[in-house]
A and B are shown apart, each in its own frame.
Chain A
Amino acid sequence: MDMITFPTIDMTPILPEIYLSLLAMALLLINVFMPGRQKGYLGYISFVGVVAIAVMTASGWGIEVSSFSGSVIQDKFAIFFKIIFLLSAGLSILLSDQYMEREGCNHGELYPLILFTVVGMMLMACGTDLMTIFLGLEVMSVSLYILAGFNRANIKSNESGLKYFLLGAFSTGFLLYGMALTYGATGTTRIFGISGQLSQMAAPAANIMLLAGMLLMITGFAFKIAAAPFHMWTPDVYEGAPTPMTAFMSAGPKAAGFAAAIRILVISFPALQPDWSQLFWILAVLTMTIGNITALRQDNIKRMLAYSSIAHAGYALVGFAAGNETGVAGVLFYMLSYAFMNIGAFAIVILIAKKGETNGTVQDFAGFAFKRPLLAAVMSLFLFSLAGMPPTAGFIGKFYLFSGAVQQGYVWLAIIGVINSAVSVYYYLRVMVFMYMKNPSEEFEWATVTAPVALALIISAAGSIILGVVPSYVMQFAQQAAKLI
C-alpha cells in the first residue's frame, strides 16, 4: 500500500479563519481558567482581535489564490464579504457586554460563539466547493441557534432558539437535496467544475435534474436570507433573540447567504441566468412588498426592524435578479451599509429597553429627543438611512441596486422597489414622530451609554454618513469585487 501524497497546500485563503478559530479557542480557555463573574474583558479581547484580523484580511486585497485543490479561493469578492462579516461581528461584540450584563446572562462563551459564526460565514464567502459552502453554512447556523437561545432563563429566547433550529434544519434539508441533484447532473461538487460541465451541455435548461437542483438550492438560501415566502421564522426569531444577536443575525448571516448564493449562481449557473433571474424577480417583489406591508402594523420595535430586514433583503434581491456587475456591486455595497445602519438602530433599541426586554415598543420612544437629543439625532440618522433618504448610505445603496436592475432591462422591478421604499418611510418616520413630537409618558430612567456602545454608535453613524457622502471610494472596491468571472 502506497502512502497518501498530500497535495501542497497554500494556507493564504483561510488565514483569517484560522486566526479567528485560534482566538475563539483561546477565549474559551481563558473563560474557563479565569474565574469571576465579570466577563466583559473577553469582549474587549475579541474586539481587538476582530479589528486586527480585519486589517489582515484587507491587506490581501488583489491577491488571488485558490487552494485545497479547489475547495477555497481568496478573491476580492470573498475579502469584501469577510470585511462585512468582521464589521458586523465587531459591532455586535461591542453591544453585547452592556446588554448581557443587564439581562444577567453574561457568560463568557458568547464571544467565542460569535467568532465561530464568523468563521462559518467566511467559509461560505470564500468556498468554491459545495461541501465547503455547506459546512460553512452549518457552522454558522449551529452557532446562531445557540446565540438565539443564549438567554436561557428567558422564555422568549428559548423559543427563538428552538424555532430557528427547527426551521433552519428543515431548510438545510432542501439545500442539501439541491446540492445532491446538482452533483448528480454534473458529477462534481466543485463550483468551477459545475460551470465547466454546464458549458459542455447542449441545452442545460432542458436538464431537469440540474434545474431542480438549482431550484432547491435557491429555496434553501431563500430561507437563510429570509426571502418571502420563506420568511416566516424571521420576526419570531429576531424578536426573541438577545438584541445584540438580532443585530448580528440581520447583518452578518444575511450577507453570508447572499455571498454563497451569488457565488454558486453566478459562477456555476451562468447558462441558466435567464431562469434564475426570473425567479429572483418574483422573490424580490414578494419579499419587498410583504416585508414592508407587515412592518407597517408592528408596534414592537424589534419585530418592526425584523420585517424591515426582510424588506431590505428584498431590495438586495433586486440587484441579485439583475445579475450584472452593477447589480452585484450594489448588493455588496448595500450589505455593507446595511450592517452599519441596522446594527446602529439596534444599539439604540438596546439602550431604550429595560431588563427582561420590556419597553420595546414604538410608543416607548416617546419624548426620547427631549431627554437625550444626541442619541435621538443618531437614531434619526439610522432611520433615515434605512428609509433610503438622500445623504445617507441607504440611499446610495438602493440607487446602485435599482440602477443595476434598470441596466438589465428590469424597469418595472426598479419601479416596484422605489414604491416599496416610499412605503417604508411611513414606519420609520413613525418612530421619529414619537421621538420628537410626543411627550414622555412618565418619569423614565434612561440607560447610561457605556463606552463600548458609544464606540459602536460612533462607528455605525460614521459609516452611514461616509458611505452616503463619498460612496465612490467604497464603491470602486465593490465594483472590483463584483467582477467574479
Chain B
Amino acid sequence: MENLNGYLIVSAILFSIGTIGVLTRKNAIVIFMCVELMLNAVNLTFVALSRHLGNLDGQVFVFFVMTVAAAEAAVGLALMIAFYNNRETIDVTDMNSLKW
C-alpha cells in the first residue's frame, strides 16, 4: 500500500496531541478524553499496518482495544463521580489530600 506512511504519521500526530493534553489539562474528564484520543491513534496504526501486511491480526486487536476503552470509561467515570461527590471538583490540582 503506497500511503502507509501517511496514516502512520497522522496517527503519530494524534498520539502526540493526546499526550500533550494528558500532561497539560487539569480537568480529569478532559484528561480521560485525551487518553481515548491516544488509544484511537494507536488503533489507526493497527488498522493501517494490518492493511499493509494483509493479515487481520491488527484489526482484531483494535476490536479488543475498543472493548478495553469501554470498560475503562465505565470504571473511570464512576471513580470521577465518587471523587466529585466527596470533593465537588474533578480538577487534578485539587487532588491534594495526598501529595502529588
Contact = CB atoms under 8 A, between A and B. Distances in A.
A and B touch in the complex (CB under 8 A): yes
Interface of A: 130-131, 134-135, 138, 142, 145-146, 149, 152-153, 155-156, 158-163, 165-166, 169-170, 172-173, 176-177, 179-181, 183-184, 187-189, 232, 235-236, 239-240
16 contacts: A134-B61, A145-B75, A152-B82, A155-B86, A159-B95, A162-B83, A162-B95, A165-B79, A166-B31, A166-B35, A173-B35, A180-B45, A181-B45, A188-B55, A189-B61, A236-B98
Contacts of B100: 232, 236
Interface in B56-82: 57-58, 60-61, 64-65, 68, 71-72, 75-76, 79-80, 82
A146 B75 contact: yes
A166 B87 CA distance: 17
A135 B61 CA distance: 10
Contacts of B57: 183, 188-189
A173 B95 contact: no
Given A131-B61, A146-B75, A172-B39, A156 B98 contact: yes
A150 to B, nearest CB: 10
B60 A173 contact: no
B58 to A, nearest CB: 6
Contact of A142 (B58, B60, B72, B87): B72
A180 B41 CA distance: 10
Nearest to B94: A159
Q: Which of A166, A180, A183, A240 has the most CB of B within 10 A?
A: A180
Contacts of B49: 180, 183-184
For the residues of B in contact with A, the DSSP-based class is helix
A424 to B, nearest CB: 21
B68 A161 contact: no
Contacts of B61: 130-131, 134, 179-180, 183, 189
Q: Which of A145, A162, A232 has the most CB of B within 10 A?
A: A162
B3 interface: no
Contacts of A145: 75-76, 79
B28 A159 contact: no
A160 B100 CA distance: 10
A75 B52 CA distance: 34
